[in-house]
Structure 1
Amino acid sequence: MNRVFGWDLGGANIKLASIEDGRVASVVQIPCPIIPERRKFDAAVEAALPLIALPASHAVTMTGELSDVFGGRAEGVAYLVDLMVRTVGAQPLSIYAGEAGFLASGDAKRHAIEVASANWHATASLVARRHADGLLVDAGTTTTDLIPIKAGKVAARGATDAERLTEGELLYTGVVRTPVMAVAHSAPFRGRVQKIAAERFATMADVWRLAGDLPGDADPYPAADQRGKSPAESAGRLARMLGRDASEAELAEWIALARYFADCQLAEIEHTARNLSERDALSPDAPVIGAGCGRFIARRLAERLGRRYLDFGDLIDAPPETREMAARCAPAVAVALLAGKGE
């Protein structure tokens, strides 16, 4: 049996996909402990070890090198590569480096810039091999990737985070951790438009939870006020953004406010998607391909752009019950499938 484990090492969690003979067997997400120490990665990887079956090879991509427990990206890449070397022992290990493909561990540390945050490229590369044209939209907890696919190739112009932010291919806006103050500076409430607090009183998890779109298990992080995550508690945090208490309005009014903030976020993503579609002259038939825990945004974006929607889970061979998590953890799945085919 050809078994490959794909690892996506993030700063808040790790994602682990098991691929057996080219078919997705299982996908899990393991939160890193919420501690300001490097050993949070060690703890999360250790928690994943009981899920590993031998013999197997391992393919790794990452974003965890951006964690503030590291002094820089090169330091973070080196730490995470060394962690995986210790973890897999004598089993084959390859590190994904974007356009450079897979590298051995020693080479990966010498090419930290290519390895750093290359997980988006793994997803896009797999999509490009399975669907010739489209706009990949991977909406996660913190960021949204928008990656044009043309003629079976990744058409992104940026490679590093800085380049991708410049090109509009990376937006630091996500459906969970993004502060509400990052998507709007004012909001309508009871017939008036008022300024909102420039404070992290509420996050987009509260917004999308009230809007009824956020999957129940998509937000493993503590709320901004360390309280619960019921609709009433989310409404309380959203009210604080307006300098108010939740008791000043009915829940339906707070839900309406949430939908306003949700539309503000979607409008930013739509604007960028339209620019990229024009820049790369994407065919009207090219679909929006959704991945990530926030791919409900990709579905809505497809409607706004007048394009059909295609789910990442429909591009892979996986049991129906596994497709949801596979789409949420697309980079881990992609890096395993790419490595399994020697691509």
Structure 2
Amino acid sequence: MSHDSHAAVVGWDLGGVHVKAARVEGGRVRAFVQAPCALWQGVDALDETLAGLPDWARGRALHAVTMTGELCDCFADRREGVGALTAWAVERLPGRVLVYGGRSGFLDPAAARAAATEVASANWHASAVLAARLVPDALLVDIGSTTADLIPLAGGRSVAAGYTDAERLETGELVYTGLVRTPVMALAHAAPFRGGLVRLAAEHFATTADLYRLLGALPDAADQQEAADGRGKSLPETRTRLARMIGRDRDEGSDEDWRRLAAYLAERQLRRLHDAAAQVLSRGVVPEGAPVIGCGVGLPLAEALAGRLGRPFLDLAALVEADDRAWLSACAPAMAVALLAAG
């Protein structure tokens, strides 16, 4: 899709907990940003986030929008969510607005509301289309704060078996596990601790952010969500949350004990991703020697998964023209819709 009326394209990924934006000019990513957004509290939360974004995000441009925020509790269903987020974009973003409809391509806002099932959570599709143009045969692994997408690419296009979230949960192409927000209780029923095997509490005491913070593998820029207990993010406070998962207090283990527990639970998360990748790759559509392309805040996890699969690893951000690549892959869908809309 070409556009003559605007020099810049701004891509948007309106998520349930983060808003991401990327500005493209001349086929090159010039700027990008991620900001927290409490969208589950209502669409007004988007206004608050927008007000804090850089001027380039709020200026006149061709605005290309994709979303996952339609799943938020504040909406009765995905159709209502798509309609509300589309209406917000039209009202708040100056210039022309196009909505990414996945298999249907870019849609005018009026058409987007009618095609809600195509628009809903199609952000993965944009990243896959972009990645397949750059590397025709690969496994795209996008690990975000909440979910992971594992998309097979072959012959220069996405060959995903599923499209909707429901379908992709069956095919292994969507895994509800992420670097920041996943409850620790979702990773294992029990874990080794000081020589014993301890069952985990089925309570939202700690998240994966706590694990990676203890392991020194959580970038500050990824750590934008409130902790499970609403308290701080110091290492002692983090250990306190993890200790609660096995019915203990922080002083009942050494710092090394808690680090070992965190490492085991992180390993369980990686195994789950490995199982999903094995399911996707078992279709035989991705050639054996093809690389893993990683993106998302969980980029190091994607790289670790590539190692397990015995495949070369590429960072999606390294494959595009950009002024600054550090942290760019975390905003992959926003970057993708901007580059696709720019043509």
Task: Give the TM interval when normalised to the shorter protein.
Answer: over 0.9
How far apart are the structure 1 equivalents of 2:7 and 2:21?
A: 16
Aligned to 1:19: 24
Partner of 1:64: 69
Q: Equivalent residue for 2:342?
A: 340
Deviation digits for residues 229-288 of structure 1 (CA, Å, limit 9, x no counterpart): 122211111111010011011101100000000000000100110121121342222111
Partner of 2:42: 37
Whether 1:140 and 2:144 are equivalent positions in the alignment is yes
Report if the CA contact (8 A) 1:180-1:204 is conserved: yes
For residues 208 and 79 of structure 1, the distance between their equivalents in structure 2, rounded to whole angstroms, comes to 35
Q: CA, structure 1 residues 53+235, in 2 after alignment: closer, same or farther (shift >3 Å)?
A: closer
1:152 aligns with 2:136: no
Conservation of the 8 A alpha-carbon contact between 2:145 and 2:181:
yes
SS in 2 for 1:58: strand
Distance change >3 Å, CA 281–CA 55, structure 1 → 2: closer
SS in 1 for 2:53: helix
Match of 1:299 in 2: 303
1:204 corresponds to 2:208: yes
Residues 16 and 40, structure 2, Cα contact 8 Å, conserved in 1: no
Q: Is contact 2:40-2:73 (8 Å) kept?
A: no
> For residues 93-172 of structure 1, what are the structure 2 equivalents within 5 Å?
93-172=97-176
Instruction: Confirm or deny that 1:47 pairs with 2:52.
Output: yes
Taking the aligned partners of 1:336 and 1:35, their CA distance within structure 2 comes to 25
Whether the 8 Å contact between 1:4 and 1:19 is mirrored in structure 2 is yes
Residues 10-38 of structure 1 show CA distances to partners (whole Å, capped at 9, x for unaligned) of 11121110001100000001221477222
Task: Give TM-score, length-normalised by structure 1.
Answer: 0.95
Q: 1:25 to 1:34 in 2, by over 3 A?
A: same
Structure-2 separation of matches of 1:257 and 1:55: 49
Q: What secondary structure, in the 3-state scheme, does the structure 2 residue paired with 1:121 have?
A: helix
C-alpha spacing 1:260/1:80, structure 2 compared with 1 (3 Å): same
**Post-superposition offset of 1:211:** 1.6
The letter for the 1-side match of 2:333 is P
Distance 1:216 1:53, change over 3 A: closer
Query: Structure 1 unaligned runs (5+)?
Result: none
1:241 is aligned to 245
Aligned-partner SS, 1:165:
helix
Can you list the C-alpha shifts for 1:64-99, whole angstroms capped at 9, x where unaligned? 11110111111010111111111234x222110001
- CA separation of 1:224/1:308 partners in 2, compared to 1, >3 Å: closer, same or farther? same
- Paired residue for 2:3? none
Structure 1 residues 212-221 or 273-282, which shifts more? 273-282
CA distance in 1 between counterparts of 2:82 and 2:50 reads 15
CA distance in 2, matches of 1:55, 1:208: 39
Contact 1:148 1:280 in 2 (8 A): no
**1:24–1:318 Cα contact (<8 Å) kept:** yes
| Counterpart Cα distance in 2 of 1:221 and 1:56 | 30
Within a 5 Å distance, the mapping from 1:313-324 to structure 2 comes to 313-319=317-323, 322-324=324-326
Q: 1:34 to 1:104 in 2, by over 3 A?
A: closer
- The partner residue of 1:177 within 171, 177, 181 is 181
The offset of 1:55, in angstroms, is 4.8
Q: Secondary structure at the match of 1:207?
A: helix
**Aligned-partner SS, 1:329:** helix
Deviations 1:102-122 (A, max 9, x none): 000100000000000000000
What is the percentage of aligned positions where both structures have the same residue?
49
Aligned to 1:327: 329
Q: 1:273 to 1:32 in 2, by over 3 A?
A: same
* 3-state SS in 1 of match to 2:321: coil
How do residues 233-312 of structure 1 correspond to structure 2 at under 5 angstroms? 233-312=237-316
Structure 2: 5+ residue stretches without partners: 1-5
CA distance in 2, matches of 1:49, 1:66: 26
Aligned pair count?
Answer: 338
Q: Aligned partner of 1:324: which letter?
A: A
Q: How far did residue 53 of structure 1 move?
A: 6.9
Could you tell me which amino acid in structure 2 is paired with residue 213 of structure 1? A
Deviation at 1:176, TM superposition (A): 0.6
Which residue of the partner structure matches residue 10 of structure 2?
Answer: 5
1: CA distance between counterparts of 2:39 and 2:118? Answer: 27
